């Protein structure tokens, strides 16, 4: 079967592509990616010459290009990860998120629908990878389940909620076999250093301030990226079309506690005296509309499909730090050029 994975050069996408290419030699994996600032073929160096892997550079917003690609290659399934993914960038430039996350998703759905209508047996599944942010923000207690009402707050989460609704609409209206998973915050190797954890790893390394929004009291539920990729594999192969699964780590941390733990790990790794890195913590102006707390109830996935997270947070964070310290060139390449402008706009005058 030919499987199209979109956004496969990004953070999570590269881990999903690697898992599928290595584990399923009988599939041909097409990685379609625009290579925006967040897409990086260096993430896939180890598999780029595998016979069942092909890279296609392209934009999901370009409907003609997408229709031509589907009509030529007749994919049997799609795993859709391509997106604009950073909340802060969505606050600065919401329209970019509408184009890629909403229109791009609808373009893919239309192209998949055409193949499905030609031969209903030939198209297995449109798997949409989404986020827990569609559910909005929790108070001190409670967790998001698959039946929690949608209540997105940021332009990013509004665009992802919209794309989720389109996926369900194509399932209900046209019968397109599709499903959605909504996952909590991922961390791990290849994470672009605009996001909290890799940004702070990079800044600790360079002795720069660690910008914590507000009082650092916001809570996120962290999951190691390879555990997310394993969940996608399990859901892709076992879940019924029309279903939804929440994916999460049962691993809630306030931002300030995450960064304190990171500082401690990196004091040791960098041979600095205990407490050195914590001095870099700087509280800065809060994110507009900042969701207080996310926590995912993944009981359905655990009970029905037998998936569970494999790593404790401390171990996963240490593995992540080790990866960044061993891949200095990767970090150097992604933090030069445009990143510097982005950093200045976001943080210097904050
Ligand atoms: P990322 O920003 O690291 O990667 C996104 C990828 O999509 C990049 O390779 C980029 O080049 C590509 N892309 C962007 N616009 C495109 C376009 N118009 N056409 C083709 N390719 C395009 O994102 P990520 O963190 O890996 O997230 C992947 C998916 O998982 C997203 O849909 C995101 O909403 C979802 N998700 C992310 C998290 C998380 O914690 N990072 C959690 C839950 C869900
Ligand atoms: O919950 C899943 C979502 O997790 C995904 O859908 C998004 O694609 C992904 O980017 C992530 O969103 P967050 O906004 O939670 O991640 P981020 O790393 O940007 O921020 C994590 C927390 O840290 C959040 O409460 C904001 C805070 N933060 C972030 C940055 C970048 C800071 O305090 N300082 C920072 O510099």
Q: What is the reported pLDDT for 203?
A: 98
196, β-bridge pairs = none
Across the beta sheet with 219-224, the strand order is 185-187, 219-224, 252-254
Nearest CA to ligand 1 atom 32: 81
Return the pLDDT at 154: 98
Domain count, the chain: 1
DSSP string, 229-263: HHHHHHHHHHSPTT-EEEE--S-EEEHHHHHHHHH
Residue 45 lies in a domain: yes
Residue 339 lies in a domain: no
For 161-165, the CB contacts below 8 A with 24+ separation are: 161/134, 162/101, 162/102, 163/101, 163/102, 163/105, 163/106, 163/128, 163/130, 164/128, 164/130, 164/134
pLDDT (0 to 100) of residue 13: 99
pLDDT of residue 142: 97
With a 6 A CB cut-off, is 276 part of the ligand 1 pocket? no
Substitution site in 7, 59, 96, 157 for ligand 1 pocket (most atoms within 8 Å of beta carbon): 7
The confidence score (pLDDT) of residue 349 equals 80
**Which two structure tokens, joined as six digits, stand for 88?**
């802060």
132 among known catalytic residues = yes
Quote the tokens at residue 25.
């030699």
C-alpha angle 203/39/332, rounded to 5°? 35
Cβ pair 182, 144 in contact under 8 A: yes
The residue segments making up the domain with residue 24 are 2-187+222-247
pLDDT the model gives residue 350: 83
Between the CA of 308 and the centroid of ligand 2 the distance, in Å, is: 23
Record the pTM. 0.99
**What CATH number is attached to the domain comprising 174?**
3.40.50.720
The residue among 227, 232, 148 whose CA lies nearest residue 189 is 227
So what's the pLDDT on residue 315?
97
pLDDT in the model for residue 141: 96
Q: Has residue 183 been placed in a domain?
A: yes
* Whether 133 is catalytic: yes
pLDDT for the residue numbered 198: 98
Please give the number of the atom of ligand 2 that sits closest to the Cα of 83: 8
Our answer to whether residue 156 is catalytic in this structure is yes
In a domain, 171, yes or no: yes
* Distance (Å) from CA 263 to ligand 2 centroid: 18
Ligand 1 centroid to 181 CA: how many Å?
Answer: 14
Handedness of CA 97, 221, 44, 207 (dihedral sign): positive
Evaluate: CB of 36 within 6 angstroms of ligand 1.
yes
Distance (angstroms) between ligand 1 centre and the Cα of 275 equals 35
Note whether residue 154 is domain-resident: yes
Tens of pLDDT along the chain (350 residues) come to 999 999 999 999 999 999 999 999 999 999 999 999 999 999 999 999 999 999 999 999 999 999 999 999 999 999 999 999 999 999 999 999 999 999 999 999 999 999 999 999 999 999 999 999 999 999 999 999 999 999 999 999 999 999 999 999 999 999 999 999 999 999 999 999 999 999 999 999 999 999 999 999 999 999 999 999 999 999 999 999 999 999 999 999 999 999 999 999 999 999 999 999 999 999 999 999 999 999 999 999 999 999 999 999 999 999 999 999 999 999 999 999 899 999 999 999 88
Bridge partners for 212 per DSSP: 283
97 occurs within a structural domain: yes
Q: Are 250 and 298 in contact (CB under 8 A)?
A: yes
Give, in order, the Cα–Cα distances in Å from 261 to each of 192, 258, 281, 341.
20, 5, 12, 29
> What pLDDT does residue 339 have?
97
Which positions ≥6 away from 320 have C-beta within 8 Å? 187, 188, 189, 191, 197, 198, 201
Rounded Cα gap, residues 248 and 87, in angstroms: 19
Inside any domain, residue 167: yes
Catalytic: which of 33, 133, 164, 227?
Answer: 133
Q: 309 and 250 in contact (C-beta within 8 Å)?
A: yes
Domain-located, residue 159: yes
The answer to whether 233 touches 20, Cβ cutoff 8 Å, is: yes
């Amino acid at each position: 079967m030919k499987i199209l994975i979109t956004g496969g050069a990004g953070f999570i996408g590269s881990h999903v592509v690697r898992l599928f290419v290595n584990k399923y030699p009988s599939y041909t994996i097409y990685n379609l990616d625009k290579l925006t600032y967040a897409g990086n073929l260096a993430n896939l160096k180890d598999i780029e010459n595998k016979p069942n892997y092909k890279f296609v550079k392209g934009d999901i917003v370009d409907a003609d290009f997408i229709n031509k690609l589907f009509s030529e290659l007749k994919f049997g399934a799609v795993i859709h990860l391509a997106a604009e993914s950073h909340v802060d960038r969505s606050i600065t430039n919401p329209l970019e998120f509408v184009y890629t996350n909403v229109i791009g998703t609808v373009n893919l759905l239309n192209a998949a629908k055409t193949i499905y209508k030609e031969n209903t047996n030939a198209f297995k599944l449109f798997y949409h990878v989404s986020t827990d942010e569609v559910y909005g923000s929790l108070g001190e207690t409670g967790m998001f389940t698959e039946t929690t009402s949608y209540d997105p707050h940021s332009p990013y989460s509004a665009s992802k909620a919209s794309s989720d609704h389109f996926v369900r609409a194509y399932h209900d209206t046209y019968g397109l076999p599709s499903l959605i998973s909504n996952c909590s915050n991922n961390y791990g190797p290849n994470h672009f250093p605009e996001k909290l954890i890799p940004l702070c790893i990079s800044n600790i390394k360079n002795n720069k301030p660690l910008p914590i929004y507000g009082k650092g009291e916001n809570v996120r539920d962290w999951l190691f990226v390879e555990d997310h990729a394993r969940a996608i594999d399990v859901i892709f192969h076992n879940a019924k079309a029309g279903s939804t699964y929440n994916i999460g780590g049962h691993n809630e941390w306030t931002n300030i506690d995450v960064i304190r733990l990171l500082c401690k790990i990196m004091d040791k790794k960098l041979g600095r005296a205990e407490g050195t890195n914590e001095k870099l913590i700087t509280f800065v102006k809060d994110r507009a509309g900042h969701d207080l707390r996310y926590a995912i109830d993944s009981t359905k996935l655990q009970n029905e499909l037998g998936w569970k997270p494999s790593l404790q947070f401390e171990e996963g964070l240490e593995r992540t730090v080790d990866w960044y310290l061993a891949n200095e060139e990767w970090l150097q390449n992604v933090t030069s050029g445009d990143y510097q402008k982005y950093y200045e706009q976001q943080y210097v005058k904050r």
